Amino acid sequence: MDDVASPAGATAPVISVAGVGIRFRRNRRGRRSFKDLFSDSRRRSRPGEFWALRDVSFDVRPGEAIGVVGRNGQGKSTLLKLVAEVILPDTGRVVVRGGVAPLIEITGGFVADLTVRDNVYLTAGLHGMSRAEIDERFDEIIDFAEIAAFVDTPYKHLSSGMKVRIAFAVISRLDEPVILVDEVLAVGDAAFREKCYRRIEQMLADGRTLFLVSHNERDLKRFCDRGLYLDGGQLVLDGPIEEALARYRSDHPPRPAA
Amino acid sequence: MSTALAERPRRSGAARYRQTLWLLTSRDLKVRYSTSALGYVWSILDPLVMAGIYYFVFQVVFQRDVGAEPYIVFLLSGLLPWMWFNGAVSDSTRAFLREAKLVRSTKIPRTIWVLRLVGSKGIEFALSLPVLALFAVLGGAHLQWQVVFFPLAMVMQAVLVAGVGLIVAPLVVFFRDLERATKLALRFLFYASPIIYGTNDLPEQLHVLAAFNPLSGIFGLYRSAFFPEQLDVLEALVGGGMCLALLAVGLVVFRRSERAVLKEI
């Protein structure tokens, strides 16, 4: 219990992002040649490309809950994907110690033609759980998703709500030290959403590290203690969540209702 | 209590890689066999029908003296591995695009998207071998000691398919035209490889060129199990070198384009 109050320098960071930059093409139909596909000059910006993130650096210590704040298109989701290591930075380094449970595109790994049971084993396995671990948690996952009657139903026959529920249940049971959440919680009915929130709170209480991207101030304040404010691909502010939100509000005041 | 989170024993990278590869390979087979009534039959029906057609055309219509007797065994011993090569390479054009959602949401090593195709098509090939054995018995072909080269040929083919897949899969993401170009190239390669004929049926001046098609050496090794005269050691050696070279090129291409692929899908 008391290690929560231990000095900041005492623990090694779980996530360490150093000088990270990534650029994308502006137009999908842009011309590409073999030459620039393989060119090594990663630092140079080419015409038709923009930096989604540039020179972003921060460390996250175990147990921290971080909220990422910013307007649409300022690199929030890109940052989350970099931490999940599903995309790779053009400059700098992202180091994540320990595994990550990414609540990003959570239904992505599910196969329409396979049953719920097969899908749970497949998705949990792809995220690194062993068969024995899945066996152990299988009933709990199904309970949480409230779809005990549909275990042997092909995934494609589930309602969209059930699909999200089973996906959340699997990923949130991964037992990884870092959880990444990207607004997936906007889906599902209010009761299930609250259940997800409680699950996340419980995981935080267990000492996990949370990385949350959201536009919802209430959610950010509920879960997070530290905020990262991104604007124009730069990390503008790294401080307490209240401060990050205040800065965000003052930079981008909500438009007065007409 | 220093930490509430129990440290889970982390398995090594290689064990993790194998588990993931196996999960995806078995997923493919499971999907294939759970969605079609005939399941396994399809993976042997295709080469059987093709073998029937070629047998009819070349043996009955043209009565050409290519290959070796029994011709149906000769044909199948080239066609079955060709199905593996053809299936894996043409599927690798969609390796990333078909699985885009999964690629975007999991951080499993990206080479798996290609290697699992090598695996699943290779397993289908292995499962179709009883058909070859059946026809060998029916046709009265005699098994030679050269059958020991069979596993070697499989390894060489796995290396070759992996190499080509690692080149094709990432490049298709940027150049969609490559998907159709690959299909065309495969059709060309079917006739340019010793499947319906053997390399010793080729005119003398084409032999050197044929050796640089790694499939020549590989199919020669497979066939030597029944037809020892089909094995050309030099061809097999050049083929082996080509396989390794293609794998090396594939790894380089894949490594250098990986970051761009992930942004694109």
Q: Which range, of A37-41, A113-117, A173-177, B165-169, averages the lowest pLDDT? A: A37-41
pLDDT value of position B237: 95
pLDDT value of position B88: 94
Which two tokens mark A219?
């959610």
Given 3-state DSSP classes, what are the helix, strand and coil percentages for chain A, each rounded to the nearest 5? Answer: 40, 25, 35
**CB within 8 Å: A24 and B263:** yes
Beta strands in B91-140 (DSSP E): none
pLDDT greater at residue A2 or residue A113: A113
What part of A 26-45 touches B (C-beta under 8 Å)?
A: 32, 37-38
pLDDT value of position A255: 67
- Whether A257 has a pLDDT exceeding 80, the answer reads no
Q: Reduced to 3 states, what is the DSSP secondary structure of residue A124?
A: helix
* A62-66, B124-128, B186-190 — most confident range: B186-190
Rounded CA-CA distance B38/B32 in Å is 10
Residue A182, chain B, CB below 8 Å: the answer is no
Residue A86, chain B, CB below 8 Å: the answer is yes
Please provide the average confidence, as pLDDT, over all residues in chain B. Answer: 87
Beta strands in chain A (DSSP E): 15-25, 49-60, 65-69, 91-96, 100-103, 178-182, 209-213, 226-231, 234-240
**CB within 8 Å: A109 and B102:** yes
Which of B105, B172, B264 best tests the A interface by mutation, with the highest count of A CBs <10 A?
Answer: B105
Q: What is the pTM of this model?
A: 0.83
Rounded CA-CA distance A123/A111 in Å is 9
Which two tokens mark A43?
């630092």
In chain B, which residues have their Cβ closer than 8 Å to the Cβ of A108?
Answer: 101-102, 104-106
Q: How confident is the model at residue A187 (pLDDT cuts 50, 70, 90)?
A: low
Please provide the average confidence, as pLDDT, over all residues in chain A. Answer: 83
pLDDT value of position B2: 37
Cα-to-chain-centroid distance, residue B235? 19
**CB within 8 Å: B31 and A113:** yes
Query: Is there a contact between B216 and B194 (Cβ–Cβ < 8 Å)?
Result: yes
- Whether A42 has a pLDDT exceeding 80, the answer reads no
Q: How confident is the model at residue B245 (pLDDT cuts 50, 70, 90)?
A: very high
Q: How confident is the model at residue B140 (pLDDT cuts 50, 70, 90)?
A: confident
SS (H, E, C) B184-235: HHHHHHHHHCCCCCCHHHCCHHHHHHHHCCHHHHHHHHHHCCCCHHHCCHHH
ipTM of this complex: 0.76
Which of B1, B8, B98 best tests the A interface by mutation, with the highest count of A CBs <10 A?
Answer: B8
pLDDT value of position A20: 92
Query: How far, CA to CA in Å, does B34 sit from each of B17, B27, B40, B235?
Result: 25, 10, 10, 41
Which residue of B10, B34, B258 is in closest CB contact with A113? B34
**CB within 8 Å: A88 and B256:** no
At B169-206, the pLDDT tens digits run 999 998 888 999 999 999 999 999 999 888 888 888 88
The domains of chain B are located at 37-264
* A22-31, B20-29, B111-120 — most confident range: B111-120
At B217-236, the pLDDT tens digits run 999 999 999 998 888 899 99
In chain B, which residues have their Cβ closer than 8 Å to the Cβ of A3?
Answer: 2-3
- What is the phi-psi region of residue B67: left when phi exceeds 0, alpha when psi lies from -120 to 50, beta otherwise? left
Rounded CA-CA distance B194/B178 in Å is 25
Query: Is there a contact between B108 and B20 (Cβ–Cβ < 8 Å)?
Result: yes
Nearest to B261 by CA among B97, B31, B135, B54: B97
Domain at A2-99+212-251: CATH code? 3.40.50.300
| Across A105-118, average pLDDT | 85
- Whether A40 has a pLDDT exceeding 60, the answer reads no
- Whether A33 has a pLDDT exceeding 70, the answer reads no
Rounded CA-CA distance A37/B188 in Å is 28
Query: How far, CA to CA in Å, does A109 sit from each of A85, B81, B99, B247?
Result: 16, 31, 8, 28
Contacts of A196 (CB under 8 A, 6+ apart): A168, A172, A185, A188
**CB within 8 Å: A88 and B262:** yes
What part of B 17-76 touches A (C-beta under 8 Å)?
A: 19-20, 23-24, 27, 30-31, 34-35
What part of B 89-108 touches A (C-beta under 8 Å)?
A: 101-108
Q: How confident is the model at residue B3 (pLDDT cuts 50, 70, 90)?
A: very low
Q: Which range, of A104-108, B33-37, B191-195, averages the lowest pLDDT? A: B33-37
Tell the residue number behind the tokens 């139903």, with chain if given.
Answer: A153
Which two tokens mark B166?
């690692």
Nearest to A210 by CA among A189, A233, A185, A246: A185
Which two tokens mark A212?
């949350």
**CB within 8 Å: A125 and B8:** no
Q: How confident is the model at residue A68 (pLDDT cuts 50, 70, 90)?
A: very high
| Across B68-92, average pLDDT | 91
